[in-house]
Amino acid sequence: MSVQTVGRPRVDTAEVMRRITGRYLSPIASLVLFIVMFTAVVARYDFASPTQVFLNLLVDNAYLIVLAVGMTFVILTGGIDLSVGSVVALSTVILATALKAGWPMPLAVGAVLVVGPLLGLMMGLVIEYFDVQPFIATLAGMFLARGLCYVISVDTLPIKDQTLRQFGLNYVYLYEDKFIRWTVVAALVVVVIAVYVLHQTRFGRTVYAVGGNRQSAQLMGLNASRARVSVYAISGLCAAFAGLLLGVQKLSGYSLNGIGLELDAIAAAVIGGVLLSGGVGFVLGSLIGVLVLGTIQTFVTAANLDSYWTRIMTGVLLLMFVLVQRLLVRKPG
């Protein structure tokens, strides 16, 4: 009588590799691209301190990192948020106006951090319960927020609060003469919190599930509606916080701040491997995307090129990564 050994279930290696490749190839490609570009720029222009050049990428783009984090949440559900650039501008104007009117600094900051999520929540409710396309709803939010900026003030308003000035200007020395600013610390804290929320909480798993297949998520008992509305509130909160970082970086509020920032945030997320159709992507990938965009700006500045070359190179990279994503998600046969 022969004895048959019951082995482990057969694993389809090709399928496993396809899934891993689909999830990680794009952010890995973005990381490799960043390393190659950064190395080439540093070698070509012989910067005195490549380490400080890298740290300056974080310093100059701290607000964009926060903005890209919020955009990542939205895109993971298959949505889009075109209002964030205008919310950034509105945040700087509200902050500067409130401080000029004599509000205590914590109250002025609190007002900013309430208005942003409130606008995001309103757009999320319209998208979810009135079945309006995210593009249209957030486009309306973009015009609304920008219009409110002009209603409040069309002038550049200085920010003179000493605490905020110190937060925006003071250096944080890492070692020897290498430094960042407190805005970078704040942005990286946001990244860490976002990574935890997306990968260690039920809400984060719901966000991925809704972006992957909403019907399946609902069949699993997940609250897809709440998740979809919440990501727009989170995006609004990140936009408001990004506005605070930009305001203390420029030490002013201005109604024309943040023009085109929503496109930069989307580009950073896509270049970092976040799939526009939803369900695939990482916050750290969006961070890498911001670093890629920052490296392009560094190259354009070092080469003394016209600023439009930044847009041209960003557009080429964005198209490349969209095509790569399309190839990765295309089903065989």
- Asked if residue 3 has pLDDT above 80, the reply is no
Helix residue ranges per DSSP H, the chain: 13-45, 50-60, 62-76, 84-100, 105-129, 134-152, 162-169, 182-200, 202-212, 214-219, 224-250, 261-271, 283-302, 308-329
Given the candidates 1.10.260, 1.10.3470, 1.10.10, 2.60.40, the CATH classification of the domain at 28-38+49-327 is: 1.10.3470
Percentage of residues in the chain having pLDDT higher than 70: 92
- Distance CA(230)–CA(76), nearest Å, equals 12
| Residue 26 pLDDT level (bands cut at 50, 70, 90) | confident
Average pLDDT taken over every residue of the chain: 91
Sequence-distant (6+) residues with CB within 8 A of 313 are 296, 299, 300
- How crowded is residue 18: how many other Cβ atoms within 10 Å of its Cβ? 14
Going 292 to 296 to 301 to 307, the CA torsion angle's sign is: negative
Per-residue pLDDT at 7: 46
Measured between alpha carbons, how far is residue 85 from residues 183, 210, 286, 333 in Å? 18, 25, 17, 41
Per-residue pLDDT at 163: 96
- Asked if residue 5 has pLDDT above 70, the reply is no
Sequence-distant (6+) residues with CB within 8 A of 72 are 194, 269, 274, 281, 282, 283, 286
| Residue 24 pLDDT level (bands cut at 50, 70, 90) | confident
Per residue in 63-114, pLDDT tens? 999 999 999 999 999 999 999 999 999 999 999 999 999 999 999 999 999 9
- Asked if residue 288 has pLDDT above 60, the reply is yes
- Distance CA(226)–CA(211), nearest Å, equals 13
Q: What is the mean pLDDT of residues 121-146?
A: 97
Per residue in 220-272, pLDDT tens? 999 999 999 999 999 999 999 999 999 999 999 999 999 999 999 999 999 99
Per-residue pLDDT at 326: 73
Per-residue pLDDT at 46: 84
Strands 171-175 and 157-158, by their bridges, are unpaired
- Asked if residue 329 has pLDDT above 80, the reply is no
Lowest mean pLDDT among 21-30, 49-58, 300-309: 21-30
CA 282-287-289 angle, 5° bins: 95
| Residue 176 pLDDT level (bands cut at 50, 70, 90) | confident
DSSP 69-124: HHHHHHHHTT-----HHHHHHHHHHHHHHHHHTT--HHHHHHHHHHHHHHHHHHHH
- Distance CA(293)–CA(270), nearest Å, equals 12
Residue showing tokens 């190179």:
313
Per-residue pLDDT at 25: 82
User: Measuring CA to CA, which residue among 257, 242, 254 is closest to residue 93?
Assistant: 254
DSSP 210-241: HHH-HHHHHHTT--HHHHHHHHHHHHHHHHHH
| Residue 17 pLDDT level (bands cut at 50, 70, 90) | low
Residues in the chain: 333
Per-residue pLDDT at 4: 45
Q: What is the mean pLDDT of residues 1-18?
A: 48
How many CA atoms lie less than 13 Å away from 146 in the CB half-sphere? Answer: 18
Lowest mean pLDDT among 2-6, 91-95, 123-127, 134-138: 2-6
Per residue in 135-173, pLDDT tens? 999 999 999 999 999 999 999 999 999 999 999 999 999
Cα R_g (the chain), whole angstroms: 22
- Asked if residue 34 has pLDDT above 60, the reply is yes
- Asked if residue 324 has pLDDT above 50, the reply is yes
Q: Where are the domains of the chain?
A: 28-38+49-327
Per-residue pLDDT at 6: 44
Per-residue pLDDT at 332: 45
